[in-house]
Amino acid sequence: MKTKELRPINPTPQGVGISAEYINSIIDRIEDLVQVAESQKPIAGEGINIAYTVAGAFISLK
Amino acid sequence: MIYPRLDKVRNGQRMSVELVNRLIKRTEYAADLLQKYRILNGIKTYKGTIISLGAISPGGATDDFGFGFVTPNEIYTFPPFTAEPGELLGPGLNISNATSGRLVISGGAWEHGVFAPDSGFVRSYSPTGTEVNLPIPFGAFFVGWISCGYGPTFPFTGGTIQWLTD
């Protein structure tokens, strides 16, 4: 992943101001996660079937 | 469902419900993909899933007992059956790929067997339909089968099997 782990913010009695920079780091992290997720798709090679189900990808031989 | 790429925010922008919902939906989109692309029939490790030829289900083929291989979230229906005396295995399914989740069984007189190198052979009989929790600790070494009928003792009245993944 290109981004680093996000650190949680700490609450204060006055509330917390969240900077645009921090929100953007969350957005970058999510987009990074999306890229990783999209790249995880198993691709069927020769002689292989892949059934994509809600539960996951089920691999079988043709 | 696909949700669009998130735009960057700027200084002074209000933290709106719409923005939060876009963050949530994009995150859920990624989570859905990770779930959909998760390889079910392999050996799970911390860094990924190891696939070997032995872990892949031969589609449409049967095992040495003539059993087909169970696939997740499919309902298998078995007609009534009475095994011959001494016959161990009636019609059934090889469940060696079902390493997680649970088997939901309806009908009567199911026999289920588990063979694991570390735990030996375990076999049990159920005179009525039941829900079998797969022995997940057996992990990658889990092999087993479900069959209906066991000699004349438990004539099978028909039923269904479904492997539900969690």
Asked if B81 contacts B106 with a C-beta cutoff of 8 angstroms, the reply is no
Share of chain B above pLDDT 70, in %: 40
Higher pLDDT, B69 or B118: B69
Residues 68-97, chain B: which have Cβ within 8 Å of A?
69, 71-73
- In sequence order, the β-bridge partners of residue B77 are B160
For residue A40, what is the DSSP state? T
Q: Residue B120's pLDDT is what?
A: 46
CA distance B116 to B125: 18
How confident is the model over B135-145, as pLDDT tens digits? 433 433 344 55
* Higher-pLDDT residue of B33, B126: B33
Mutation site, B13, B28, B39, B43, interface A, largest A CB count within 10 A: B39
Q: With contacts defined as CB-CB under 8 Å, which chain A residues touch B96?
A: none
Provide ipTM, 2 decimals. Answer: 0.83
Mutate to test the interface with B, among A18, A49, A60, A62 (most CBs of B within 10 A): A60
Locate the chain A residue with the closest alpha carbon to B74: A53
Structurally, chain A folds into a number of domains equal to 1
Domain that holds residue A17: 1-62
Minimal CA separation from A27 to chain B, in Å: 7
CB-CB under 8 Å, A61 with B59: yes
Model confidence over B41-65: pLDDT tens digits? 666 667 777 777 766 665 555 665 5
Residue B12: what are its φ and ψ, rounded to 5°? Answer: 90, -5
Flag whether residue A55 sits within 8 Å of chain B, measured between CB atoms: yes
The pTM assigned to this predicted structure is: 0.51
Residue B110 has pLDDT above 70, yes or no: no
Segments of chain A assigned E as strands:
48-52, 57-61
Question: What pLDDT is recorded for position B74?
Answer: 78
Say which residue the tokens 């031969």 belong to.
Answer: B58
